[in-house]
Structure 1
Amino acid sequence: MANRLLAHEVSDLCLGKPPLTSLPISATIHHALTALKSSSDTHISIWTCDHSTTDVCRCVGKLCMVDIICYLCKQDNILSPSNALKAPVSVLLSRVPAEVVQHVEPSYSLLEVIDFIINGAQNLVVPIKNTTFKRKQLRQLPSIAPTTHSGGREFCWLTQEDVMRFLLSSIGLFSPTSAYSVESLGIITTDILTVNYHSPASKALNAISTSLAVQTSVAVIDDDGVLIGEISPFTLNYCDEMVAAAITTLSSGDLLAYIDCGGPPEDITRIVESRLRERNLYGMLDEFLTYSSGIPYCNSSSSSDEENVLSPSTARSGRYKRSDSYSARIMRRSEAIVCHPGSSLVAVMIQAIAMRVSYVWVIEEDCSVVGIVKFSSMLKVFQEHLESMIY
């Protein structure tokens, strides 16, 4: 049984995966934003393709809604969001480490995949064959089109979550290690990102960018260190770019209410509008008023909401429809997913997979934050166990 698991290749993990959405490096941030709203993917892959000489296609990075939100929150950009979106996507890619996206061949082994992830890879790009999925046509702008790869090849993402789900299907092979507590395994990371509940949400901007890069989250705590909620990139990815206005004007606590399921309360929306006026941020104000004029902010799991997601400027149905996977949770979007130091590895693993995140907060009985357990730390444990099967 152990040998059978070790014999698995990347291609086995990619069965049924749809082709990823891709744009050329020549695209603007506005193109990427349009693609995100028209796609079922939370990330858009960015490619360089040289068909004139080498005929080589390479994925050079990925972008998501959080990248765009953080970009718009910068002082110069929030003055004129429409102008900021005209910048090339390379402006955002320059902040992304090269190892975050890695090309791998279908014949790579399971251990090689785990090694890539432990060393910083978040998305592995894998060529796929004879897919049965029909390519969705993006709502294209006149000057842009999805990247066409050499030879008509298509690729899919392989993520940390995909690998964890695959290992969970064979969790019995990792006994008794999988039953050990996260504390005893030494995989609780105490170097965490936090922001005070009463502090301006803008002070969390760097932490949000960092949490996206390391695939964690920002804990919102009170003065006693008690965990109140979280500002999670996984949640923000299912919102729209107007969260930038909320981050700029609200406290961290109010931002939690803004991003909760059901959309921002009207009183908080009015606060955002008022503060944008006070700061003379009329460019962002115009955009914010357009998006808040009766349009749902984020999808709930009910079908009735999906019938009312038309935007006057951009097709948004794809964005709201794909948020079902996250909003299916019977909880507030800003409610943190937690465990305790004594929780078992397999229990924490199941929690994270079920809630579609790559981490779980670790708290004490009084709800004070101890640290965080990440997929990459869990995979390190599984890697060591698998290697012990070989030697």
Structure 2
Amino acid sequence: MAVSLLGHEVSDLCLGKPALRSLPVSATVADALAALKRSGDAYLSVWSCDHTSKINKSHLEDCRCIGKICMVDVVCFLCREDNLSCSSAALQSPLSLLLPKVPGLVRHLKPNSRLLEAIDLMLEGAQNIVIPIQSRTNPRKKLVPKPSFNSTLHNGVEFCWLTQEDVVRFLLNSIGIFSPLPGLTIESLNIIDTENIPSVYYHDPASSALTAISQSLINQTSVAVLDPQNKLVGEISPFTLACCDETVAAAIATLSAGDLMAYIDCGGPPEDLVRLVKARLEERKLGAFLDLMEEDFSYSSSSSSDEEFGFGGSGGSGKYSARMARRSEAIVCYPWSSLMAVMIQALAHRVSYVWVIEEDWSLAGIVTFAAILKVFRQHLRTQA
């Protein structure tokens, strides 16, 4: 029964999914920032083809998604010391500088591929799998690509992507056929990662967590914030950072990890922390970033405009976007929590990981969707 479930086509999991907004790899960081702020999407896909070019249209035949970017990529890039002092020049840098140098994070599959193929790709490291959207009206009709950076069309085809969350949610909907697996504890299943735990101490500079933030973004986890006794007091979540605007880079550069948690918490940064950030920017003579915090900043590059991106609405550069943010309290479970309980917990909070703590709140490890998928894959092998 379980094996037949995994025979589903990946297109079954893509019903109702929106088409990917895209950027060409030839775009700039400024282009990406403008697109993220106008679209309201947490992520934008990056493609090897450029739909704004009027030459080499044959390149559309080789359109492939080669990565994805979000506000956290932009923020981490602006936090580099040389970019802090000259943010305007940094924004004109090539978008390709934001893409992680990790192969295989984004992969392509045909819509009739089996779900088992998608799971295997995810276990190899894929975070997003790009699937063509099958037209329900006239599948033979070719659509003409629009000449805009945010075009959803690539050689007349729209795409969506499948995530680990989509697959885990699909498995949970049929969890009964995997009995007794769902009732086993995460400790007995040996899926608690005790080694690869990005963390920072509460009073450490937030900038010391930059590498961990970038790594947790790639791994779809978060950065644990610990007290001196190694107890979990919160987290710096890429998901929460992605709901901020680019000025949060100034907070990362000037605040402690604990203060950064308060700064990015839903509801907006407290005024006292905003004043503290501005004062420290002045002390470090980072006037460019101070200007960003005190006035609206236009990120339109000489090669693009809002009309080229095709975004409607008023947009704006508030501290938080229209996307749903959540608080910095960490989502936790215990070693004796069941697999199903952890799955439900993660899906309910829209995260792809859950921190594992002991009764005294000391950090014991982390459970990820990747580890959960591995358990289901192993279970299927025993049933085959």
Deviation at 1:20, TM superposition (A): 0.7
Partner in structure 2 of residue 101 of structure 1: 106
1:214-259 residue CA offsets vs partner (Å, 9 max, x unmatched): 1111100010001110001111111111110000000011101101
Counterparts of 1:241-252 in structure 2, within 5 Å, are: 241-252=246-257
Mapping 1:174-193, distance limit 5 Å: 174-191=178-195, 192-193=197-198
- Distance apart, 1:131 and its partner CA: 6.5
1:359 aligns with one of 353, 364, 370: 353
Deviations 1:276-325 (CA, angstroms, capped at 9, x unpaired)? 00000001110012269xxxxxxxxxxxxxxxxx98xx5459x73222xx
Aligned counterpart for 1:368 among listed residues 340, 362, 366: 362
One-letter identity of the residue aligned with 1:152: G
CA deviation after TM superposition for structure 1 residue 146, in Å: 2.5
Match runs of 1:1-391 below 5 Å: 1-49=1-49, 51-52=57-58, 55-93=61-99, 95-130=100-135, 145-147=149-151, 149-191=153-195, 192-290=197-295, 315=316, 320-323=321-324, 326-327=325-326, 333-389=327-383, 391=384
The alignment partner of 1:97 has SS state of: coil
SS at match of 1:181: coil
Offset at 1:377?
0.2
TM-score (norm 2): 0.87
Query: Alignment identity in percent?
Result: 58
Secondary structure in 1 aligned to 2:188? coil
Alpha-carbon separation, structure 1, partners of 2:282 and 2:167 = 47
CA distance in 2 between counterparts of 1:371 and 1:43 reads: 27
Name the amino acid aligned to 1:60. Answer: I
Runs of 4+ in 1 over 6 A off after TM superposition: none
Report the Cα offset of residue 41 of structure 1. Answer: 2.3
CA distance in 1, matches of 2:112, 2:35: 31
User: Offset at 1:48?
Assistant: 1.3
Instruction: Supply the AA of the counterpart residue of 2:341.
Output: A
Paired residue type of 1:196? Y
Task: Note closer, same or farther for the CA distance 1:144–1:155 as it changes in structure 2 (3 Å cut).
Answer: closer
Q: What TM-score, normalized to structure 1?
A: 0.86
Pairwise CA distance, 1:145: 2.4
Q: Distance in 2 between matches of 1:96 and 1:221?
A: 29
Q: CA deviation at 1:147?
A: 4.3
- CA drift of 1:149 comes to 4.2
The 8 Å contact of residues 61 and 96 in structure 1, kept in 2 or not, is answered as no
Call closer, same or farther: CA 1:182–1:291 in 2, change over 3 Å: farther
Aligned partners of 1:322 and 1:362: how far apart in 2? Answer: 27
RMSD (Å), alpha carbons: 2.2
1:78-129 deviation line (CA, Å, top 9, x unaligned): 1121221111111112x33120000111111111111111111001000002
What does residue 52 of structure 2 align with?
none
Consecutive unaligned residues of structure 1, counting only runs of 5 or more, are 133-139, 293-309, 328-332
Distance 2:79 2:276 in 1: 17
Given that residues 27 and 144 in structure 1 are in contact (C-alpha distance below 8 angstroms), is that contact kept between their aligned partners in structure 2? no
Runs (5+) with no aligned partner, structure 2: 50-55, 138-145, 298-312
Say if 2:245 and 2:317, in contact at 8 Å, map to a contact too. Answer: no
Cα distance in 1 between the residues matched to 2:3 and 2:42: 35
